[in-house]
Amino acid sequence: MGFRILVIEDNEQNMYLMHFLLEAKGHVVIQALDGEEGIRKAIEGNPDVILLDIQLPGMDGYEIARIIRSTSGLETIPVIAVTSYAMPGDREKVMAAGATDYIEKPINPATFVDQISIHFPV
């Protein structure tokens, strides 16, 4: 059974890879290229999980996570930061903004879907 996964990512190559891996496992992928579009699609699309890049144009992923967490109906959706921010303290900063989990880029295609599947609804 596939899940609805919103991917908020501005890099075309990263978006393509995540979309390909998720779709290959039977999931429906909703794409958003920036924060405003991502928030709108989260509200309209009823995703089961949100994958969120942190370094986005305009509104960064920290702000997007805070908005998602404060929006009625979205506050319990798992938000997984998928980011190249991997310095000491970056994980804690992402989690403090409201992310449920954190995956470093570049993603590992062999383990990526398994890493996020622990957050799928039961």
Q: What is the DSSP string of 31-98?
A: EESSHHHHHHHHHHH--SEEEE-SS-SSS-HHHHHHHHHTSTTTTTS-EEEEES--STTHHHHHHHHT
- Mean pLDDT of residues grouped by 10 in the chain (122 residues)? 94 98 98 98 97 95 96 97 86 94 95 97 88
Q: Would residue 40 count as lying in a domain?
A: yes
Question: What's residue 74's pLDDT?
Answer: 97
The pLDDT value given to residue 86: 75
**Residue 43 falls within a domain, yes or no?**
yes
Q: Give the domain extent around 29.
A: 4-115
Q: How many domains are contained in the chain?
A: 1
